[in-house]
Chains A and B, each alone.
Chain A
């Protein structure tokens, strides 16, 4: 079975502050992990994936297999980062994603 846990439903930070959205997973095999984002009045869309090892909009995420975590980080949050963020895991079937419950990030001015 595969499971994704995002412990914080709501996260609020001030502009310019560092932000970390937590994601933990449970999967017996070798996972592929993703972060999806849904901005207000926009479609849910891919933000980044761990295999690409890329930084998108200043966000990075490192897969820690020992801690089974894939936390999303940004050193200086911006107001436009306010959105719902979902962590997702792909296991046995490449395109079959299991999503976490989501974290609503609010960046205050």
Chain B
């Protein structure tokens, strides 16, 4: 298994542009999380899905951010319009809801976003 796959790995864009980050979870994992990593605030949970349904989006900074999970194999995080303060590394992580694997998240390699 290739693990959690994220794309793009790097994105440089200009303020005001739309950014779409993509995530392919590990097959069989039914929970998916989007985290944002910055030097100042560490890892912040933005939103998480269970069985493709958004469960908690309280961490989404503002209406410019949206996330979807149309099926068990794919999720997107969209920022529209993007701002320089959105510059960060965005991680997708997945887990399988199973007592034996409680709390183990499997992370993607991250998408480094730079908004100029």
Contact = CB atoms under 8 A, between A and B. Distances in A.
B41 A101 contact: yes
A86 B103 contact: no
Interface string B88-99: 000101010100
Contacts, number: 62
Interface in A1-45: 6, 32, 34, 36, 43-45
Interface string B41-80: 1111100101000011000000000000000000000000
Interface residues of B, number: 25
Contacts of A88: 103
A34 B101 CA distance: 12
Interface string A82-97: 0000101010011111
B105 A95 contact: yes
A56 interface: no
Contacts of A102: 42-43
Interface in A54-95: 86, 88, 90, 93-95
A18 to B, nearest CB: 25
A86 B102 contact: no
Given A43-B108, A43-B109, A95-B95, A101 B42 contact: yes
Contacts of B43: 86, 99, 102
Contact of B105 (A46, A93, A100): A46
A51 B44 CA distance: 24
A44 to B, nearest CB: 4
Given A46-B105, A94-B103, A97-B105, 15 more contacts: A6-B42, A43-B3, A43-B106, A43-B108, A44-B105, A49-B103, A49-B104, A51-B102, A88-B103, A93-B56, A96-B55, A99-B42, A99-B45, A101-B42, A102-B42
Interface of A: 6, 32, 34, 36, 43-46, 49, 51, 86, 88, 90, 93-102
